[in-house]
């Protein structure tokens, strides 16, 4: 699974004029299931997102995780985005053969969202397979690219 995580002051997803998800301070997560991903990979990455210390403490240091904050800061907007696994190296048209199939991708994103909810995080959603408009105000800016295929050996299942 590949995730682009952005710490945001606010974010919203709109599909055909309907707001499908909206958050205030938290994370906007662009999420892509990749062929070969397992539920264990997805749960590990969801736990990593929850436990990363990306919010400022009283001294202004990034020492607080989603587990440590309260209120609106303890929320995420999950935006399914299969294009994160694009191979753009050859030619001019990207290939998406590395992305999970639509059914599998949707299942993996569902596992990811359920794990975040189990960990006490508020989850707002985009709509899988839809043409989405995403509006966000990046805070920091603070952006990370997370990939379950490069996790440390010590953390493998």
Residues with a known catalytic role: 81-83
| Widest pairwise Cα distance in the chain | 50
Assigned token pair, 69: 């904050």
Q: Which of 95, 65, 76 is nearest to 23 (CA)?
A: 76
Alpha-carbon span 134 to 88, nearest angstrom: 23
Q: Which of 47, 50, 55 is nearest to 25 (CA)?
A: 55
Q: Check if the beta carbon of residue 27 is closer than 8 Å to that of residue 8.
A: yes
């Amino acid at each position: 699974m590949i995730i682009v995580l952005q710490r945001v002051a606010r974010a919203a997803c709109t599909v055909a004029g309907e707001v499908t998800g909206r958050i205030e301070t938290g994370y906007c997560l662009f999420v892509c299931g990749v062929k070969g991903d397992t539920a264990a990979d997805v749960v590990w990455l969801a736990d990593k997102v929850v436990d990363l210390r990306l919010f400022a403490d009283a001294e202004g240091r990034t020492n607080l995780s989603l587990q440590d904050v309260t209120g609106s800061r303890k929320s995420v907007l999950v935006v399914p985005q299969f294009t994160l696994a694009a191979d753009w190296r050859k030619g001019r048209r990207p290939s998406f053969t590395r992305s999970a199939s639509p059914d599998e991708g949707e299942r993996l994103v569902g596992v990811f969202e359920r794990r975040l909810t189990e960990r006490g995080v508020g989850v707002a959603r985009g709509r899988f397979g839809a043409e989405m408009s995403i509006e966000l105000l990046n805070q920091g800016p603070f952006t990370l690219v997370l990939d379950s295929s490069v996790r440390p050996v010590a953390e493998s299942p």
